[in-house]
Structures are given as structure tokens and as C-alpha cells.
Amino acid sequence: MGAFTEKQEALVHSSWEAFKTNIPQYSAVFYTSILEKAPAAKNLFSFLANGVDPSNPKLTAHAEKLFGLVRDSAAQLRANGVVVADAALGSIHSQKGVTDPQFVVVKEALLKTLKEAVGDKWSAELSSALEVAYDELAAAIKKAYA
């Protein structure tokens, strides 16, 4: 992978700002997309037991954390060229048995959500910067698997 540029970091940051303008709405887009592609995720996430409810604070808090970590991943890539995930994050996902195909489902849902959030500011450059930030974060989480 080439160096992650200042411009790529700024693009990822702007999509995070767009997400934050309506966290309940975009969280609903995100989990609805995950459930469309992977219905079994309903049993994986405790806060999806009753379906996608954007007024459930656990659901929005989780989405905000996840999208915020992708934004932090871009900042780490720009500053250090690598992403480090905390060990606790690795152990949650290894305990839940999260697989590579599930990481792809979540990536696609994240891209779809941010595309909707940024509207006409969406570009191939933003899409690829987000993919790099997400993939490096996912790799760091998997590396931290106990």
C-alpha cells in the first residue's frame, strides 16, 4: 500500500462529519444493510434482537463507535502508516467468532451508509480511502485476536 495522504484523511474525516449530522438515521441505514446481506447478524448483535430500532441508544452508540474508529484508522495511517487496534477489540470479535466474509459485509454496509450521508460529495477517491482505512482497521482487529 502507498502512503495514506493528507487528502485521503481529509476525505474520510468529511464522511465522518456527514455521518454525525444524523446518527440515528445513518445507523439505521447501516444495520439494515448488514441484515439484508447477512440475516444471521440479528442473533450476533444483542441490540438487533428486536430489529433495527434507531431510537435504541445501544444501536446508535455502537455505530458511532465503529464509524469513529474508521475515521481514527485514517488518522493513524496518515500519521504512522499503520493501524493499531486495542487488544479488547480483538478479543470481543474473536469471542463472537467474527469471520472474514462478515468483515466484508460490514465494509459494504459502511460504504453504502457513507455514500448516502455525503450525497453528491461521494467520489471514487473517497470510496477507496474508506476501503483502505476500513481494511487496515479490520486487519489490526484480526491481528489482536487472542
CB contact at 8 A, 6 and 33:
no
Length of the chain: 146
Query: If binding is defined by CB under 6 A, does position 46 make contact with ligand HEM?
Result: yes
Q: Which is nearer to ligand HEM, 62 or 78 (CB)?
A: 62
Q: Compute the CA torsion angle 58, 63, 65, 68 (nearest 10 deg).
A: -160
The residue range among 3-11, 12-20, 102-110, 118-126 that interacts with ligand HEM, by the rule CB under 6 A, is 102-110
In the complex, least distance from residue 20 CB atom to ligand HEM, rounded to whole angstroms: 16
Alpha-helical (H) ranges within the chain are 6-20, 23-37, 57-80, 87-95, 100-118, 124-143
Query: If binding is defined by CB under 6 A, does position 21 make contact with ligand HEM?
Result: no
Query: If binding is defined by CB under 6 A, does position 71 make contact with ligand HEM?
Result: no
Residues lying near ligand HEM in the complex (CB under 6 A) are found at 41, 44-47, 62, 65-66, 69, 89, 92-93, 96, 98, 102-103, 106, 134, 137-138, 141
